[in-house]
Amino acid sequence: MENELKRLLNRPVKIGGKVIDKRLILAPMARIGNLAFRELVSSFGGCGLLFTEMTGARSIPSAKGHGPSGFRWNPRELPRLVCQIFGNEPDIMARAARHVEEEGFFGLDINFGCSAATVCKKNLGAAILKDPPLAERIVSTVRKAISIPLFVKFRAGWQKDTSIAVELAGRFEQAGADALTFHPRIAPDMRTRPARWEYIGEVKSAVSIPLFGNGDVFDAGACLRMINQTGCDGVALGRLAASRPWVFAEWTDDFKPEKGVYRESSLRMAELLSKYFEQTVALRRFRLFSAYFAANFRFGHTLRSKILKACSMDEVREVLEVFFEKDPDILSPPNIALFG
């Protein structure tokens, strides 16, 4: 199985006018896909594409330079970094997209997948899927504004009817999307029900552009099954990547994680967050990361609880050092009940 998965994931795939050499990518995520986390993932290697955290199109500056926390990067990332934006005004989205292209990103991702209530109540993210013509118009307007690869991440809509997702995928391809990332849950389900992988197969059959499957891939066997069962062109890892940032290197290269990787990675993440963000932001980001990372351990809820009580990044590091002194039992796969 290991060799077969590696073979499938290491096939190049063309996206727009560019090519990536691996079909295992970081899923577009809000807050988790920050600069520090991406650097941690990159330190292991093996990831075909990275995505920034979700950034509002209106907050992307119209002049050169980094703006809000989601719109931050290292220049060395740009050849394989996709900027993830959201919004509901085609012209504003296009303006932001032009700025993204000017900065030198590999590509741009439009987020129609976020189903958080705070986002959807503003008619953003997955809420736009209720208005397919608007969603298509956004993609079309952005496509006309840029020449770099254009990605669209979307859910299966708001009703249990696969024809809706199939129609949306067709609209996005016709509007000029170069690749799709599809999460096969309807928005109201959030993560309360299993991902419907059969939806991925139906959507893939309806389009000719690359489609990356996303949802409930928590081990190598599941990754292989998703590819074989759905015919998707690649896999976008979200929660598992947040739990085990080395998973890309493990599945596509020859990286063999040893037990010490857990301690080293958590401390490195704390270091990177402190490097790139001021303390209060770094602490919030690490608390979010800990929801996924703690899922690796038996009694991980205890680690998570202590991190949530920490009042500084120094206290976070102390909690981690004490936790790893006791050689914690590692779970495989992670305890997804702890995932955020």
Write out pLDDT tens, residues 295-324.
Answer: 999 999 999 999 999 999 999 999 999 999
111 and 87 belong to one structural domain: yes
Residue 340: the pLDDT is 60
- 45 and 14, same domain (yes or no): yes
Asked if residue 109 lies in contact with residue 153, where contact means CB atoms within 8 angstroms, the answer is yes
Contacts of 93 (CB under 8 A, 6+ apart): 57, 85, 87, 110, 138, 141, 142
Last residue of a domain, one of 252, 273, 306: 252
pLDDT digits (tens, 9 = 90+) for 97-120: 999 999 999 999 999 999 999 999
Q: Do 170 and 98 belong to one domain?
A: yes
Number of domains forming the structure of the chain? 2
Q: Other CB atoms closer than 10 Å to residue 124's CB: what's the count?
A: 20
Cis peptide bond upstream of 333, omega within 30 = yes
Give the CATH number, domain containing residue 228: 3.20.20.70
Domain shared by 201 and 83, yes or no = yes
Domain shared by 265 and 178, yes or no: no
Which parts of 156-313 are beta strand (E)?
Answer: 179-183, 211-213, 234-237
Tokens of 75: 């220049």
Q: Mention every residue, 6+ apart, whose C-beta is less than 8 A from residue 271.
A: none
Hey, what amino acid is at 326? K
Are residues 200 and 114 part of one domain? yes
pLDDT at 226: 98
Query: For all residues of the chain together, what is the average pLDDT?
Result: 94
Do 146 and 173 lie in one domain? The reply is yes
Q: What is the pLDDT of residue 69?
A: 59
The answer to the question of residue 316 being in a domain is yes
Asked whether the predicted pLDDT for residue 64 surpasses 90, the reply is no
Q: Quick check: 336 pLDDT over 90? A: no
- Summarised one tens digit per residue, pLDDT across range 239-269 is 999 999 999 999 999 899 999 999 999 999 9
Residues 218 and 282 placed together within one structural domain of the fold: no
pLDDT at 147: 98
Q: How confident is the model at residue 63 (pLDDT cuts 50, 70, 90)?
A: very low
The mean per-residue pLDDT over the stretch 75-96 comes to 97
Position 61 confidence tier, pLDDT thresholds 50, 70, 90:
confident
State yes or no: pLDDT of 68 exceeds 70. no
- What percent of the chain clears pLDDT 90, i.e. is strictly above it? 89
Residue 205 lies in a domain: yes
Average pLDDT over residues 280-284: 95
Judged by DSSP in three states, 159 sits in coil
Q: How far is CA 94 from CA 112, 119, 170, 289, in A?
A: 15, 20, 21, 31
Q: What is the span of the domain harbouring residue 238?
A: 2-252
Higher pLDDT, 191 or 210: 210
Distance CA 100, CA 103 (A): 5
Is 70 exceeded by the pLDDT of residue 190? no
Q: What's the DSSP call for residue 131?
A: -
What is the percent of the chain with per-residue pLDDT over 70, rounded to a whole number?
Answer: 97
Place of tokens 């594409």: 49
223 labelled catalytic: no
Q: Give mean pLDDT, residues 79-92.
A: 97
Q: Do 131 and 110 sit in the same domain of this protein?
A: yes
Residues 238 and 327 reside in one and the same domain:
no
Give the active site residue among 83, 114, 120, 232.
114
- Residue with the bigger pLDDT between 195 and 61: it is 195
